Structure 1
Amino acid sequence: MDIEKFIARRKALKISQVKLSNGICTQATLSKFERRGRVPALAILNQLCARLGLTVDDLSENQANSVTQIRQQLDEIERRLMMEDYQSVLQSLVDLKVEQIDAVPSRMQYYYLCGMLSSLINGTASDICFSFSQIVDDLDRAHQTIFTPLAYVGLGVMYGRLAEPEKAQFYFRRVRYYVEHAGSSGYANDYLRLLTLIFYTAEYYAISGDFVTSNRLIDDGVALCSDEHVTYYLPRLKYLATENAVKQQLSDKLIKRLMSETEAFARINHNQVVEVKVAALRQRYLQGIAASENN
């Protein structure tokens, strides 16, 4: 981040640190940014830049190529995380150092990916909490970006796997609120991440036995995929719907239709993880039917 450009603009406009920070943050926060490179929360930095007639992106102009390259890398890693390619995601994050990332949104994305991956592969709670605290306690302290509810999802997943249901419920209730108010929160256009919120919340309610809420969220996710013409999450949403149908002992016709749809979407999206899962689920389901008929 080109902090010198920020300082030069402030001095050219003859605005003191006290005047610039007034009503936005403390003078100490601004001083730490200018002298030590400690980047404040995105909401604060946006306001400071706006007061100087700049944007946050303006501070990265001299590094435009590297900024774009890192953003593309992170987007690709996030796509692979959606596809459950955890080994590849892990290796990519190891290769990418946070020190390389100056842009605040990209830093939030990096910490989200680190925390979410750790939550999904049973990483240590301390590492997970550290990653997400970088977002909710520092980079997005005002909780104005979608990375805050994404952090809540990761924390909910972590506590669910640690068998701490009250803590998991606390976070997923918050996420559900964000999902239900996505339009007013400004997240509606960030539909891939909104689908992440929807999927893991639906999965949580399914595990909790609340199939009504889970299925409603699944339907919302499928509708969003249809509206936005995206298919990344369809295999996982359809698989979750199939699991729910089996657990609810719904009709054989419906269950088999859902299995076929899941297999089809998994093949289209080259999601081998879901292909394996649905094949195993089909086998267990058919074995269960055969056993009940023999009895």
Structure 2
Amino acid sequence: MNIDRFIASRKELGLSQSELAEGICTQATLSRFENNGQVPNLKIVLKLCQKLNLPLSDLFSKVGFKYTETISKLNEIEFLLITCEYEKAQSLLTQVSVKEVDASEICLRYLYLKGFLMALQKEKDTDVLFVFDQILLDNDLKETDIYRLLAYTGVGLVYMENKELEKAEYYFNKVLAQIYHYSIETTEDIWRVLHIVFQCGVFYSEINELEVSNALLEYAVLICSDNHVTYYLARAYFQLVLNSLKEDLASEIVLERLYDARAFAKINHNDKLLDSIAALEKQLLPEKEDAI
């Protein structure tokens, strides 16, 4: 609540605390409100504002603006995360201060995005784990909460990058026990479930459990299809290409998946993935480069 705005209005009218409080509340109640932020009954606040000709909404407008601005930035950061624009996302994240907003869901979202951006940009492991621990140590979160599942995924990713695969598998298995049952209700749910499923697919490919990896990636494709989104289709198909190469599948299958990945990467303007696709195509079809 913007108490400074309230005090400024009282002083502009030349009213003392006692004069403003008269007939509404005690001077002590008003003093606790102005000096200590102890908000009295809302009816009292409304009457005080009416006496000051101050719209009640003016006391909340600043907080509402910060909340909206923060939500807007986090939406953009989350989209940049799923399109692999990590540097842009990190730059935008530095502009967000969760202290401006007293909302636990916003803080959890901030921590999840911060942790993954740090992990994917290979920042110090202990710093990354500390971020995810702040989510996992939140006693208000259920085991099935999406932010807890995202944190498990992030911790698993850190251990995978360090080739501590048994530790990584412990966390990814905790995710798999829950993610298939998670109810997708919002666009943000789609993004987060896809992020989890994709990262799990990458991990199980890393440990050569390709059947599990393929099932997860195909589940990601199904989620995209059912919800009419394309953000993860390119990445899922590209990982299926890498799995196909491990499985030594026919070149026709590999190239079909590669071209599917390229088509969706173009739709989503995922330039980094397009570079990876072009590099792999050059390896698979070196004669094409020679002909050019």
Same fold flag (TM > 0.5): yes
Q: Take 1:216 and 1:163, find their aligned partners in 2: how far apart are those partners?
A: 23
Identify if the C-alpha distance between structure 1 residues 188 and 288 changes in structure 2 by more than 3 Å, giving closer, same or farther.
Answer: farther
After superposition, what is the alpha-carbon deviation per residue over 1:1-25, rounded to whole angstroms, capped at 9, x for unaligned?
89xxxxxxxxxxxxxxxxxxxxxxx
Q: Does 1:69 align with 2:69?
A: yes
Do the aligned partners of 1:149 and 1:175 also contact (CA within 8 Å) in 2? yes
Q: Deviating runs (4+, > 4 A) in structure 1?
A: 287-290
Q: Take 1:122 and 1:98, find their aligned partners in 2: how far apart are those partners?
A: 23
Structure 1, unmatched stretches of 5+, are 3-34, 37-59, 291-295
Do the aligned partners of 1:195 and 1:221 also contact (CA within 8 Å) in 2? yes
After superposition, what is the alpha-carbon deviation per residue over 1:261-287, rounded to whole angstroms, capped at 9, x for unaligned?
111100000000110111111112234
**Paired position in structure 1 for 2:125:** 125
Give the CA deviation at 1:181: 2.0
Do the aligned partners of 1:136 and 1:143 also contact (CA within 8 Å) in 2? no
Give the number of the structure whose alpha-carbon radius of gyration is greater.
Answer: 2
One-letter amino acid of the structure 2 residue matched with residue 128 of structure 1 = V
RMSD: 2.5
Identify if the C-alpha distance between structure 1 residues 277 and 150 changes in structure 2 by more than 3 Å, giving closer, same or farther.
Answer: same
Give the CA deviation at 1:63: 2.3
Q: Take 1:69 and 1:265, find their aligned partners in 2: how far apart are those partners?
A: 30
Identify if the C-alpha distance between structure 1 residues 61 and 130 changes in structure 2 by more than 3 Å, giving closer, same or farther.
Answer: farther
Matches of residues 34-53 of structure 1 in structure 2 within 5 Å? none
Give the CA deviation at 1:75: 1.2
**Paired position in structure 2 for 1:202:** 201
- Matched residue SS, 1:96: coil
**Paired position in structure 2 for 1:17:** none
Q: Take 2:273 and 2:190, find their aligned partners in 1: how far apart are those partners?
A: 21
**Paired position in structure 2 for 1:241:** 240
Give the CA deviation at 1:136: 1.3
**Paired position in structure 2 for 1:164:** 164
One-letter amino acid of the structure 1 residue matched with residue 216 of structure 2 = L
- Matched residue SS, 1:138: coil
Q: Take 1:207 and 1:61, find their aligned partners in 2: how far apart are those partners?
A: 50
Q: Take 2:75 and 2:94, find their aligned partners in 1: how far apart are those partners?
A: 15
- Matched residue SS, 2:137: helix
Identify if the C-alpha distance between structure 1 residues 263 and 100 changes in structure 2 by more than 3 Å, giving closer, same or farther.
Answer: same
Q: Take 1:152 and 1:76, find their aligned partners in 2: how far apart are those partners?
A: 23
Q: Take 2:271 and 2:140, find their aligned partners in 1: how far apart are those partners?
A: 35
Give the TM-score of the pair, scaled to structure 2. Answer: 0.74
Give the TM-score of the pair, scaled to structure 1. Answer: 0.73
Give the CA deviation at 1:95: 2.0
Q: Take 2:248 and 2:185, find their aligned partners in 1: how far apart are those partners?
A: 34
Q: Take 2:249 and 2:140, find their aligned partners in 1: how far apart are those partners?
A: 43
Q: Take 1:242 and 1:228, find their aligned partners in 2: how far apart are those partners?
A: 23
> How many residues align structurally?
232
Q: Take 1:223 and 1:102, find their aligned partners in 2: how far apart are those partners?
A: 36
- Matched residue SS, 1:181: coil
Give the CA deviation at 1:100: 2.2
After alignment, is 116-125 or 266-275 more displaced?
116-125
